[in-house]
Amino acid sequence: MKQGKVYLIGAGPGDEGLITIKAIEKIKTADVVVYDYLANKKFLEYAKKNAEIIYVGKMGGKHTLPQGEINKLIIDKAKKGKSIARLKGGDPFIFGRGGEEAEEIVEANIAFEVIPGVTAGVAAAAYAGIPLTHRDFTTTVAFITGHEDPAKDESNIYWDKISTGIGTLVFYMGIGNLEPNMKKLIEHGRIPDTPVALIRWGTTQNQETLVGTVKDIAEKAKQANFKAPAITVVGGVVSLRNKLRWFDKKPLFGRKVVVTRAREQASDFSDLLKEYGADVIEFPTIEIVSPKKWDEIDRAIKRLPKYDWAIFTSVNGVKYFTERLKKLDKDIRELKGIKICAIGPKTKQEIEAIGLRVDFMPKEYRAEGIIKGLGKIKDKNILLPRAEVAREILPEELIKKGAKVDVVIAYRTVKPKNKTDEIRELFKQGRVDVVTFTSSSTVANFLNMFKKGEGVEFLKNVKIASIGPITRDTAKGFNIETLIMPKKYTIPALADAIVEHFKQGEKSQ
């Protein structure tokens, strides 16, 4: 049997973008992924389908598995020839007990590697606008455990040395011992007015920062009910926060935004919203799938030379149409001589990506504007590959103008099998700020995900952002009022409209 190998991986401080490329590579190939409480669950999506996923988290003193059993678990799996990705929050060798695990692995004569991660002490401070070193303040920094038992007869922390000998002190996991730790610093010579920052859930959209001084931060934390997990930064550099803070100044910071797009298309929208600081909850209400039968589109492809125009109303229409071309051993050369209309910049971009030139793109998705842009269409043959369920206005108007229209089903939108427990709880707790709808299907399917009347009730207490008038009107048909709608009906414009809405709200306060 081949020998297994263990990768001790630093999963970073929380922001999914702060994991290393090497870490992702090892998660992708691992047979077993063993992860901690502070490791972002998003990283589990990189694991291969047949990988064994094991949670061994520790939270507030509650251990899923004691450390000894975690070590045994890793070694047993490796002895069976498995590749183990041991995901640890932050960096495995900075208060991550990675050294202990590595010693046990070596004792068992098993190969291992350490993949360092961005530690919370560095990252959380940076996201709070606090540089740990600065030539005007200090050139020394120390990382210290914050949860050493204050009742111990003899401390492992040299308080007399660190209190005055180190410029910036970063305490890990020290909220429970905040008051005794600050007293120790004062007792050993630290100036009581030294600035202090507590940073909770650093680098995530739930980040909270509380600033005080060595003498008053414990009382401030008590009044604010400030809880773990958090780090404590002590030093003059904390005074730079007001000038250098950037993360929690983003326009959507702290706002929970629900994205209802199909999972495979949600990432672009989610990334835009995250860039603005939003806490994005992906709750896909549609799934894009192929037609039940390909008969219609196959017939259209066989007689492509007869068409004068092909109108693509979505990225999905382009994708499924070109995939079907390939399936029939054809390619884009079959579209030679056919004029191409793209409804929207994303669709245009998708068409151009496959090597076709777009002849016309309307300024907005209105039947009148589209028809006007097509020019003389009487007796012209028009191909319209689209979703199985779609509004009939465009083909009807084309036919009224004398065009011969073949509407063919290129794809279907179906309701995915989503678990609703988590998002239902968020709505009940009033923790959702915005729900976004990018098509009529997302509206109808969202409501169908819940019990009758429940979805509408949830949406009464949140802001609704619709991509355009068609989606807005669909929502209105369910007594759902749209508060945010962009002038340009695109995903980037919708993200911008959400930002502008909250900016205006802040100005009016």
Catalytic residue positions, numbered: 36, 58, 173
Q: Which two tokens stand for residue 474?
A: 């669909």
Q: Are 150 and 180 in contact (CB under 8 A)?
A: yes
210 vs 414: CA distance, rounded Å: 46
Of 71, 435, 36, nearest to 229 by C-alpha is 36
What DSSP string runs through 384-398? Answer: EEEESS--SHHHHHH
359 vs 338: CA distance, rounded Å: 9
Q: Are 313 and 390 in contact (CB under 8 A)?
A: yes
Q: Are 158 and 273 in contact (CB under 8 A)?
A: no
| Helix%, strand%, coil% for the chain, nearest 5 | 40, 20, 40
386 vs 316: CA distance, rounded Å: 8
Helices (H), 214-338: 217-223, 241-244, 263-275, 295-302, 315-327
Of 183, 182, 180, nearest to 197 by C-alpha is 182
Of 19, 53, 23, nearest to 36 by C-alpha is 53
Of 321, 323, 324, nearest to 310 by C-alpha is 321
464 vs 485: CA distance, rounded Å: 9
350 vs 361: CA distance, rounded Å: 13
330 vs 81: CA distance, rounded Å: 46
